[in-house]
Amino acid sequence: MIFHSALKLAQAVRKREISAEEVINYFLRQIEVKEAGIKAFITVCADQALEQAQALDRRTDLPGLPLAGVPVAIKDNIVTKGIKTTCASRILANFYPPYDATVIKRLKEAGAVIIGKTNLDEFAMGSSTENSAFYPTRNPWNLECVPGGSSGGSAAAVAAGEAPLALGSDTGGSVRQPAAFCGLVGLKPTYGRVSRYGLIAFASSLDQIGPLARSVEDCALLTRVISGHDQHDSTSSPRSVPDYLAELSQPLENIKVGIISGDLLKDVNPEVKEAFYFTVKQLEEEGAQIEELHFSSWAIGLPCYYIIAPSEASSNLARYDGVRYGYRDLSEKQLLSMYQTTRTEGFGAEVKRRIILGTFALSAGYYEAYYGQASKARLLINQEFRQALDKVDFILTPATPEPAFSFGAKADPIAMYLSDIFTVTANLAGVPALTLPVRCSAKGLPIGIQLISDFFQESELFRLAFLVEKKVEFIKEYNKIN
Amino acid sequence: MPEKIDIDYVCSLAALRLSEEEKKELAPQLQRIVEWIAQISSLNLTGIKDKELSTVSLATPLRKDVVQGSLSPEEALANAPEKENELFKVPRVIEGGDSQE
């Protein structure tokens, strides 16, 4: 079990009860055994990881490293110097970044070992990892089901025990939804809490890198390491970063939790609804005051998101023109045809759908009706969050409308988009949100809940999640799959 | 009711060239998505002013104006599909004149 807690693992490595090399070898063996069934990784960096671990073992300052010897799996849209970074796209299939993302730099400084790069929906566009240009990833709880997405590889790797921790990115729920599908704790930090430098851009006003872990403690530990201001990202906040792990033991008093009203739950799977009200009961037992909130703007979050995110994506993805890096169709002899053929061959169907949608929403004659109106709707959502969080400390929702679904179940794009109905609003508003597994469905699939708090209140979010985690003891469910 | 999306025109703006087969599959999907997102047009948002549109108010922190390292030409060109003499190579942009090839 020690191998599944990053916290205990780092403690053991710091005390030299175990070497970083032994740790990485254990996880590389897990990958060897499990990867054929799961397919969580695009690249396993066995040689680099082993070298990194051996270098750590030679260091004399191990006691100062919060993640000493802890392997971390990285979503393959976060750049790693000299390690192939593909975004699960043909257009970046052979891209070797010349620099490390800020989060990677911080992980290495904290003593973490980069174990591999994980699968995702191409350019983080999707909710099942079926949009990967390479292969889908399978859910460790049931190989017939998707792991969620877009950070499906990161979630599956941690749930399967191939790595104790992982990083994903969350633009509309891409950390939280796969965390819920795979029985993990996942956080979308406050916009600006974590540097986006080196995160391959999808929708810059919504994107945020976030941690995936098996426990709230591990999630808090990793969040502290990756957070903080970075001069390479001017949207990163200069606020100081609390010691989230140390603050977990501070009690929360007079907790007020707002729950979303019943009308927003009418299309939710009955077992998810049960898990949601079960959590409400746990919170009440802990003395929390529960209040139902009426969010008139919640339901417009998804259509609003599907205007803003593709609009930003259509602009961000204009850089893939076959000139400086990435795939190029070498047969084209004329510049514009080269751009068109390169992009048409390089991007998959969902990425093309979103580029076309975003280009349309920004085009002359439609800009005001779509992008302009969506920007105003986003402000309305933001105002409603501010009003709600003046009244209550936290907002509780289900994480997803249903547990993990089967491969191919959401062939209709809009049906797939609806997977993120509970998660997109936090990205639009910029507030932090965490998902936490609370129980399993009758079919043995994890069900998660989502907790949202005010800007930069990650510490409070972790403390409430810690309280719920201790009551529901979801970790015991892992005995069923390990 | 939203207008019909002109997929050829939008693709030309986005530098994409879809096959007839792709168009057949994507056009009805996109039309449905556009109809679905158009529900936001029914919202009354007239009270919201453009200048309020930034949802997160962040000051821009500035760094010291000191020269910092950057990528070497070799590093910057390492991923280029085609390069020549420390430059990115692209197909001819200007028509006519003597070809160098």
Q: Domain count of chain B?
A: 1
Residue B21 in domain: yes
A429 contact partners, CB below 8 Å, separation of at least 6 = A381, A382, A385, B55
A361 contact partners, CB below 8 Å, separation of at least 6 = A307, A310, A311, A367, A370, A371, A374, B37
Q: What is the pLDDT of residue B101?
A: 45
B chain contacts of residue A327, beta-carbon cutoff 8 Å = 81
Average pLDDT, chain A: 96
Q: A90-104, A303-317, B49-63: which has the minimum mean pLDDT?
A: B49-63
The answer to whether A174 is a known catalytic residue is yes
- Neighbour tally for A29: CB within 10 Å: 11
Residue B80 in domain: no
Q: What is the pLDDT of residue A179?
A: 98
Q: Residue A159 and residue A126: Cα distance in Å, rounded? A: 20
Instruction: Transcribe A141-168 into DSSP letters.
Output: TBTTB---SSSHHHHHHHHTTS-SEEEE
A275-299: per-residue pLDDT in tens?
A: 999 999 999 999 999 999 999 899 9
**Per-residue pLDDT averaged across A117-132, rounded?**
98
Residue B22 in domain: yes
Q: Residue A337 and residue A411: Cα distance in Å, rounded? A: 31
- Say what the ipTM of the complex is: 0.91
Q: Which residues of chain B have pLDDT under 50?
A: 1, 99-101
Q: Residue A176 and residue B40: Cα distance in Å, rounded? A: 25
Place A70 in a pLDDT band, splitting at 50, 70 and 90: very high
List the single best residue of A102, A376, A380 to mutate versus B (max B Cβ within 10 A): A376
Residue B64 in domain: no
Domains of chain A, start order: 2-254+433-480 (3.90.1300.10)
Q: What is the 3-state secondary structure (H, E, C) of A64-124?
A: HCCCCCCEEEEECCECECCECCCCCCHHHCCCCCCCCCHHHHHHHHCCCEEEEEECCCHHH
Structure-token match 């426990």, residue found? A215
**Among chain A residues, CA nearest to B43:** A377
A149: tokens are: 């997405």
Q: What is the pLDDT of residue B59?
A: 67
Contact B78 A98 (CB under 8 A): yes
- Chain A within 8 Å of B27 (Cβ-Cβ)? no
Q: By the 8 A CB rule, do A111 and A222 touch?
A: no
Q: A177-191, A393-407, B19-33: which has the minimum mean pLDDT?
A: B19-33
**Per-residue pLDDT averaged across A190-208, rounded?**
97
Q: Which residues of B83-97 are buried (b: 16+ CB within 10 A; e: fewer)?
A: eeeeeeebbeeeeee
A465 contact partners, CB below 8 Å, separation of at least 6 = A185, A216, A219, A434, A436, A451
Q: By the 8 A CB rule, do A314 and A123 touch?
A: no
**Per-residue pLDDT averaged across A204-233, rounded?**
97
**Among chain B residues, CA nearest to A431:** B56
A109: tokens are: 């400084």
Q: Residue B94 and residue B100: Cα distance in Å, rounded? A: 12
- Is the previous residue joined to A150 through a cis bond, with omega within 30 degrees of 0? yes
Chain A with chain B: Cβ pairs closer than 8 A: 159
**Among chain B residues, CA nearest to A333:** B91
Residue B28 in domain: yes
**Per-residue pLDDT averaged across A453-474, rounded?**
97
List the single best residue of B22, B56, B65 to mutate versus A (max A Cβ within 10 A): B56
Q: What is the pLDDT of residue B48?
A: 77
Q: Residue A339 and residue A327: Cα distance in Å, rounded? A: 10
A chain contacts of residue B10, beta-carbon cutoff 8 Å = 356, 359-360, 363
Interface of B with A in 60-99 (CB under 8 A): 60-61, 63, 71, 75-76, 78-82, 88, 90-93
The answer to whether A75 is a known catalytic residue is yes
Residue B30 in domain: yes
Domain that holds residue B36: 7-42
Residue B97 in domain: no
Q: By the 8 A CB rule, do A108 and A202 touch?
A: no
Q: Which residues of A159-187 are buried (b: 16+ CB within 10 A; e: fewer)?
A: bbbbbbbbbbbbbbbbbbbbbbbbbbbbb
Residue B99 in domain: no
The answer to whether A154 is a known catalytic residue is no
